[in-house]
Chain A
Amino acid sequence: MTEEEVSLAVKDIIQTVAPDEDLSQLDPDVRLREQIDLDSMDFLDIVMELRKLYGVQVPEEEYKELATLAGCVRYLHPKLAGKALHCAASA
């Protein structure tokens, strides 16, 4: 997956978890929780979707890497290398 595809993958998961949110104006460098309504249970949902869709395990001590969209892409890009993009929410 390219970085752009990783970003798409993450946004798609966020859209599944937060279906009422408009993600089109998401600033990649601002904390997700400051831009959209996401709580700790939603965050666990995002981690769960990464596990289910891409087999990526995010250990608890690394959750902080997923605070922003840019952080997600940075952290997940190497882990998603060679994986195919799934888009459920916006498909």
Chain B
Amino acid sequence: MPMPELARVVITGVGLTAPNGNSLAEFRANLLAGRSGVQAYEIRHVGKTLAGVCSYDALRYQSKKDLRRGTRAGSIAVYCANEAVKDAGLDFTRYDPQRIGVFPGITEHGNVETENEIHEVAKYSFDLSFWSHHHNPRTVANNPAGEVTLNLGLKGPAYCLGGACAAGNLGLIHGAQLLRLGEIDLALCGGVSESIRTFGIFASFAAEGALAKHEDPTRASRPFDKARNGIVVAEGGCLFALERLEDARKRGARIYAELLGHCVNSDGTDFVLPDAAGQNACIRGALKSARLEPAEIDLVSTHATSTPSGDVIEARVVREVFGDGPRTWVNNTKSFIGHAMGAAGALELAGNLPSLADGVVHPTINLDEPDPECAVPNLVANAPRHVGRVDTILNMSFGMLGINSAVVVGGLRA
């Protein structure tokens, strides 16, 4: 039996906070201007390090009590959700609240709150009568999504998609799937991360020899550059308003992009090390689902995190898949903001969406001496490039335990 034609799904709103911007307009402007959001940062036990830190107005949509009770990831999700709703011009009174879904991708959740609580109870010699009753609601894996439902009074499915650093695409993919199944009418989906608030993530990357160091914080994240020496951890969030094309047209919504295809797969090879074959298969899977050839992709948004070995593997995959495409441009966002973990994929897609309208590709920055081992064809380096037209974008994210995700979006076609 042939598969029924699937409903077309479009992005009609973007709410985000990145280390270099608290709206899509501000973020995009800084990506085009080459402005980094990485800064000096200090966290207990690790001491002085670097991070991408967000400066959104947390009190815009939450009370002080909400912030005290909830989590940073929850607050980021609430901010992004409200901004996406506003950006999309959504009127919630026109929706059944049970048919609005909230799906943030997360790399991890609960580490920040658990570390905080252990440090607190340690002050009282581990007398557990001092252990907070807030611990469970803060650390449950649906916390960021659930905080959005509390804030907006939503009644539909709301949970997080745990996918290590591939998670930023997972929310979008899951939202699209439920829209196509007819289970929801609107999704607020993307990714969030509060990871800079846990010392453990810095310490663990440092132990792996994968934590970036540089005397100038803004130059520390340098994917594909010869002098790269590791990841800059960042916080952030980006939630998209996602709906069926038919519904978006009915309400006269502005449409940023159509989701043309996607793929999620696994390497099945290693806890930490990426695998070129798995990444390659994921990208080709996304192209197949979008019914596009590699040369039909105008912009590839890479995942590269600025680690010595990861970038080499990813560059090889980009060469393998897109090496023959004369008009396939490549860029990277982590060079500006560091690695926003669960939010990375969503932010990286968001920052590139405007290129579908303006034909400008933002660069990867800090590429002073390209590493020959990371040679990537048509890499837009250090300055934005007017490429004429961008009709299609492929956005890829890869994570530990070998999870890979890719989405293909395009400008709206007839």
Q: A16-57 toward B: CB 8 Å interface, digit per residue (1/0)?
A: 011110000000000000000100011011001001100001
**A19 adjacent to B68 (CB under 8 Å):** yes
A18 touches B65 (CB 8 A): yes
Q: CB distance B65 to A19 under 8 Å?
A: yes
> Contact string, B60-71, partner A, CB cutoff 8 A, digits 1/0?
000111001100
Judge whether A48 and B65 touch: CB under 8 Å. Answer: no
In the complex, residue of chain A having the shortest beta-carbon distance to the beta carbon of B68: A19
CA distance A42 to B132 in the complex (A): 11
CB A55 to nearest CB in B, in angstroms, measures 10
Instruction: Give the size of the chain B interface in residues (CB under 8 angstroms).
Output: 11
The contact string, 1 if C-beta is below 8 Å from chain A, for chain B 102-125, is 000000000000000000000010
The total of chain A residues at the interface (CB under 8 A) is 13
- For residue B133, CB closer than 8 A to chain A, the reply is yes
Hey, which chain B residues are within 8 Å of A52, CB to CB? 124, 130
Q: Does B93 contact A (CB under 8 A)?
A: no
The interface residues of chain A lying within 8 Å CB-to-CB of B124 are 52
The CA of A24 and the CA of B291, in the complex, are separated in Å by: 65
Task: For the complex formed, measure the closest distance between the CB of A65 and the CB atoms of chain B, giving whole angstroms.
Answer: 19
Q: Given contacts A48-B130, A51-B130, is CB(A41)–CB(B69) below 8 Å?
A: yes
B17 → chain A, closest Cβ, in Å?
A: 22
Q: CA of A41 to CA of B136 in the docked complex: distance in angstroms?
A: 12
- B254 lies within 8 A of chain A by Cβ: no
Q: Complex formed: what's the CA distance from A58 to B104 in Å?
A: 39
Contact B68 A48 (CB under 8 A): no
A41-B134 CB under 8 A given contacts A19-B65, A19-B68, A20-B65: yes
Distance in Å from the Cβ of A11 to the closest Cβ of chain B?
16
Whole-angstrom CA separation of A21 from B191 in the bound complex: 33
With both chains docked as a complex, state the minimum distance between the C-beta of A78 and any C-beta of chain B, in angstroms. 21
CB neighbours (8 Å) of A45 from chain B are: 133-134
A41 touches B130 (CB 8 A): no
* Residue in B63, B65, B68, B134 with the greatest tally of chain A CB atoms within 10 Å: B65
CA distance A3 to B89 in the complex (A): 54
Given contacts A41-B133, A41-B134, A51-B129, is CB(A20)–CB(B69) below 8 Å?
no
Chain A residue, CB-CB nearest to B67: A19
- The CA of A20 and the CA of B68, in the complex, are separated in Å by 11
Q: In the docked arrangement, what's the CA distance between A11 and B65, Å?
A: 16
Residues of B within 8 A of A19 (CB): 63-65, 68
Tell me which residues across on chain B come within 8 A of A37, comparing CB atoms: 65
B350 to chain A, nearest CB (A): 31
Q: How many Å lie between the Cα of A57 and that of B63 in the bound state?
A: 29
Which B residues, 123 to 169, have Cβ-Cβ distances below 8 Å to chain A?
Answer: 124, 129-130, 132-134
Q: What is the CB-to-nearest-CB distance from B410 to chain A, in angstroms, rounded to a whole number?
A: 45
**How far does the alpha carbon of A20 sit from the alpha carbon of B134 in the complex, in Å?**
19
B134 partner residues in chain A, CB cutoff 8 A: 41, 45
**Closest beta carbon of chain B to A56's beta carbon, Å:** 12
B149 to nearest A CB, angstroms? Answer: 17
- The complex places the Cα of A17 from the Cα of B64 at a distance, in Å, of 9
Q: Which residues on A sit within 8 Å (CB–CB) of B132?
A: 48
**Set B63, B129, B133: member contacting A20, Cβ < 8 A:** B63
Q: Which residue of A lies closest to B120 (CB)?
A: A52
CB distance from B13 to the nearest CB of A (A): 28
State whether B130 touches A20 (Cβ < 8 A). Answer: no
Q: Kindly supply a per-residue 1/0 record for chain B positions 34-65, scoring 1 wherever the CB is within 8 Å of any chain A CB and 0 otherwise.
A: 00000000000000000000000000000111
* Contact among B63, B64, B130, B133 with A44 in the assembled complex (CB-CB below 8 Å): B133
Contacts of A41 in B (CB 8 A): 69, 133-134
For the complex, what is the distance from the CA of A44 to the CA of B65, rounded to whole Å?
A: 14
Q: How far is the CB of B261 from chain A (nearest CB, A)?
A: 44
Residues of chain A from 68 to 89 with CB closer than 8 A to chain B in the complex:
none
Determine the chain B residues whose CB is within 8 A of the CB of A48 once the complex forms: 130, 132-133
Q: 21 A–B contact pairs at CB < 8 A?
A: A17-B65, A17-B68, A18-B65, A19-B63, A19-B64, A19-B65, A19-B68, A20-B63, A20-B65, A37-B65, A41-B69, A41-B133, A41-B134, A42-B65, A45-B134, A48-B130, A48-B132, A48-B133, A51-B129, A52-B124, A57-B129
B residues touching A (Cβ–Cβ < 8 Å)? 63-65, 68-69, 124, 129-130, 132-134
Given contacts A42-B65, A57-B129, 10 further A-B contacts (CB under 8 A): A17-B68, A18-B65, A19-B63, A19-B64, A19-B68, A41-B133, A44-B133, A45-B134, A51-B129, A52-B124
* Nearest 5 A/B pairs, CB to CB: A19-B64, A20-B63, A44-B133, A20-B64, A20-B65
